Structure 1
Amino acid sequence: MIQIINNVLNPEQIALLMHTISQGEFQCGKQTAGWHAQGVKNNQQWHGGEQVNEQLQQALLLYLTQHPQFSAITYAKKMMPFIISCSADNGGYGNHIDDALMHGEQMVRTDISCTIFISEPEDYEGGELVMSLGGAELPYKLRAGDAIIYPSTTLHKVNPVTQGQRLVALTWIESFIADSQQREMLYDLDCARKAIMQQNGKSHEFDLITKTHANLLRRWSAT
């Protein structure tokens, strides 16, 4: 399931984030790519001092995890530290699959990938995040503050940025529900029960869907 989450960051939060980023510097991003992806990775990665980086990590974690859609989509168990990526001067990232296991403070199985857009789409040319699914290519270029969440099993790329600068924040999530189809079913059930509650209040139908949602979550998170 590919899901867009709007307004993870508001304009004031983006401005604060840009101020934090200004206190660090960008270096070659190849060092964080797996051996099979280094040849197609052509971007810059932000580095800051320990205190500045901690401020950035805590802020992004708070903004993302407090969004009401985040939990229902991901069922997050562990998360990797955020990476701030900059693409400019024809920089991008060719077709690749994210590493299945990543090591931050702890080992994380990457079930879900997340990109939070920091730059406005009109601020740069190119730079679309492109998913390859069933022989089709699906491009995404979101507003600043919006995020896209997608299975880490997806082949994807970032088109070269021919003008301007593309800034994004990236993280990877290990879910209590490893199977993407099971996560999608739980999300659909959650959306259905919320719609029933909004339209009809707490009803017998709401209770049945809530029971099924909870029991599936209990069963699938134990595997």
Structure 2
Amino acid sequence: MMLHIPAVLTRDQVATMRAQLDQSGWVDGRATVGPQGAQVKHNRQLPEASPLARELGQVVLAALAANPMFFAAALPLRIVPPLFNRYGVGEEYGAHVDGAVRQVPGSPLPLRTDVSATLFLSEPEEYDGGELLVMDTYGAHEVKLAAGDLVVYPSSSVHKVEPVTRGERICSFFWVQSMVRDDARRSMLLDLDQNIQRLRARLGDCEELVGLTSHYHNLLRQWAET
């Protein structure tokens, strides 16, 4: 499942982040990937351990916690602290798959990557190229969203960032270990949840809707790993 979640950050939040990021120091993005990824990754990142990365990451996490669509889609159990990257002219990230397991700073437990997420901090008109391409059985899906918007997609997907040919592409990115590791099951739960929400808005909590809500939670109870 690939999903666009609009306005995770407000315009003011984006503007504040951009002002801070524009004054920060960036390092080679290959510092956070394995040998295969290092061959095709050409960008810059904010150092993981930098105070600014931690500060801005907390802003992103708070916004995610307040976003019901993100929770319904990802069903997050644990989230890797958000990272921040920058692509200038000529920079790109070739086709790759995210590593299945990541170590979380400060935690002895590794995190399984079920859901990958990119939060756009540059407006589309600020740069040319730089599209996120996510490949699945239906082909390649091109993503270039407004600043503050988020895209989530299965971490098992092959994906790439096209070369930037003008301007700069700035994003936050992170991974989620979901309570439901199977993408097809997460998709079914999201579809059921969204239909429940629409019916509730039209009909209120009628008897049939209570039954559907019960069905949702019983499926989640059966599939969730916590």
Taking structure 2 as the reference length, the TM-score comes to 0.94
Letter in structure 1 aligned against 2:193: D
Letter in structure 1 aligned against 2:211: L
The separation in 1 between residues aligned to 2:135 and 2:93, in whole angstroms, is: 14
Shift of 1:10: 1.1
In structure 2, the residue matched to 1:208 is 211
In structure 1, the residue matched to 2:20 is 20
In structure 1, the residue matched to 2:87 is 87
The separation in 1 between residues aligned to 2:29 and 2:47, in whole angstroms, is: 10
Percent of residue pairs identical: 34
The separation in 2 between residues aligned to 1:187 and 1:195, in whole angstroms, is: 12
- Report the CA distance shift for 1:23/1:164 in structure 2 as closer, same or farther (over 3 A): closer
Residue 198 of structure 2 is aligned to residue 192 of structure 1: no
In structure 1, the residue matched to 2:149 is 146
What SS does the aligned partner of 1:31 have? helix
Shift of 1:48: 7.7
In structure 2, the residue matched to 1:72 is 72
Shift of 1:24: 2.4
Residues 4-43 of structure 1: CA distance to partner in whole angstroms, max 9, x if unpaired? 0000111100011123324421111011112111100000
In structure 2, the residue matched to 1:34 is 34
Letter in structure 1 aligned against 2:34: G
What SS does the aligned partner of 1:17 have? helix
What SS does the aligned partner of 1:89 have? coil
Structure 1's unaligned 5+ residue stretches are none
In structure 2, the residue matched to 1:172 is 175
Letter in structure 2 aligned against 1:41: K
In structure 1, the residue matched to 2:3 is 3
Shift of 1:52: 2.7
Answer whether contact 1:24 1:47 (CA < 8 A) is retained: no
RMSD over aligned CA atoms reads 1.5
Residue 137 of structure 2 is aligned to residue 137 of structure 1: no
What SS does the aligned partner of 2:35 have? coil
- Report the CA distance shift for 1:222/1:86 in structure 2 as closer, same or farther (over 3 A): closer
Letter in structure 2 aligned against 1:216: L
Answer whether contact 1:97 1:152 (CA < 8 A) is retained: yes
Letter in structure 2 aligned against 1:184: S
What SS does the aligned partner of 1:145 have? coil
- Report the CA distance shift for 1:135/1:212 in structure 2 as closer, same or farther (over 3 A): closer
Shift of 1:65: 2.2
Stretch of structure 1 that moved more, 111-120 or 127-136? 127-136
Structure 2's unaligned 5+ residue stretches are none
In structure 1, the residue matched to 2:129 is 126
Residue 115 of structure 2 is aligned to residue 108 of structure 1: no
The separation in 1 between residues aligned to 2:202 and 2:44, in whole angstroms, is: 48
Answer whether contact 2:117 2:153 (CA < 8 A) is retained: yes
Answer whether contact 2:6 2:150 (CA < 8 A) is retained: yes
Shift of 1:75: 0.9
Taking structure 1 as the reference length, the TM-score comes to 0.96
Residues matched between the structures, number? 223
- Report the CA distance shift for 1:89/1:192 in structure 2 as closer, same or farther (over 3 A): same
